[in-house]
Amino acid sequence: MSEQTVTAEQLANYLKKTGKVGAKTMHVLGKYTPFIQAMATPIGQEIMADALRRHDMLLDRVASLEVTDGEKGEYKALREIIMKWSEKIANYEANLVNYKTNIDKVNNG
């Protein structure tokens, strides 16, 4: 996956153009940052694959309004678990980069 960055100026222009809708969008996206970061890693993709398949199936059931109460509960629990795992995977990956950087500094410094 290629990583794209947004400058502060681009973000400010976006928020000026979109107003409250843009602010709400940024809030929603901010909540899912750990998920996005986790899914950008091979380990995140591997760990989350089964959970995401089940989540997709349950989401289809919820959207079709043919969902049982048990499936609603499972969907809510799975959504929470996915977000928690995402945060842990994103933190792991960030720490791994920090460790590698520190090891390189020690070895090269």
Look at residue 21 and tell me whether its pLDDT is greater than 80.
Answer: no
**What letter does residue 41 receive in the DSSP assignment?**
S
The answer to whether the CB of 89 falls within 8 A of the CB of 44 is: yes
Query: How far, in Å, CA of 66 to CA of 68, rounded?
Result: 7
**Residue predicted with more confidence, 68 or 32:** 68
Give the tens place of pLDDT for each residue, 38-59: 888 888 888 888 888 898 899 8
What is the residue-averaged pLDDT of the chain? 83
Give yes or no for residue 3 having a pLDDT over 60: no
- Confidence (pLDDT) at 2: 47
- Which pTM does this prediction carry? 0.62
Exposed e or buried b per residue across 92-102, where buried means at least 16 C-beta atoms within 10 angstroms of its C-beta: ebeeeeeeeee
Cα–Cα distance for residue pair 27/33, rounded to 1 Å: 10
